[in-house]
Amino acid sequence: MADSLQTPTEFERTDIGQIQISPEVIEVIAGLATVEVKGVAGMSGGFAGGIVELLGRKNLSKGVTVEVGQREAAVDVSVIVEYGHRLPEVASEIQRNVKRSIENMTGLNVVEVNVHIHDVHFAKTSEKHEDPDHIQRVK
């Protein structure tokens, strides 16, 4: 029965009370760390949700799921990458940035950062395309 009683870790208990970090906070940290990476166009709600949010939106935990224990965390992020960027490089940078941010801000050990690339975003072209059949008759 001694196994069922857990003594609070230093992370959870201080001299004046407990410290608890909500999984939603970890999601926001991971979301911010993800969108900081060059080449990330936005977050994706996943195939089930099908909702896409490009940068500039307010929901910072969109496309992020976390599993948080007493000392460790595992993170999954679903992203949309800008066309022209090397996908493996963007994904690796996301992994490094998410891990570093969560560990620095919370003290948790991040054991896994899984990056799911759901789409590639193409920038809208701002060039005007002339209709070849339309010739300007008046100057």
* Cα–Cα distance for residue pair 112/122, rounded to 1 Å: 29
In a domain, 1, yes or no: no
Per-residue model confidence (pLDDT) at position 103: 97
| Count of residues in the chain | 139
Position 48 in a domain:
yes
Q: DSSP letters of 7-54?
A: PPPTTTEETTEE----HHHHHHHHHHHHHTSTTEEEEE-HHHH--EEE
Q: Assign residue 41 the CATH number of its domain.
A: 3.30.70.1350
**C-alpha torsion 126→121→52→113, nearest 10:** -150
What is the model's pLDDT at position 11? 59
Kindly state whether residue 8 falls inside one of the protein's structural domains: no
Q: What is the pLDDT of residue 18?
A: 85
Where in the sequence is the domain holding 107, given as residue range(s)? 20-121
User: Which residues lie closer than 8 Å to 60 by C-beta, 6 or more apart?
Assistant: 27, 28, 31, 32, 35
Residue 107 is assigned to a structural domain of this protein: yes
Does 69 map to a domain? yes
For residues 111 and 75, what is the distance between their CA atoms, to the nearest angstrom? 8
Q: Which residues of the chain have pLDDT under 50?
A: 1-10, 47-53, 55, 57, 127
Number of domains the chain is built from = 1
pTM: 0.74
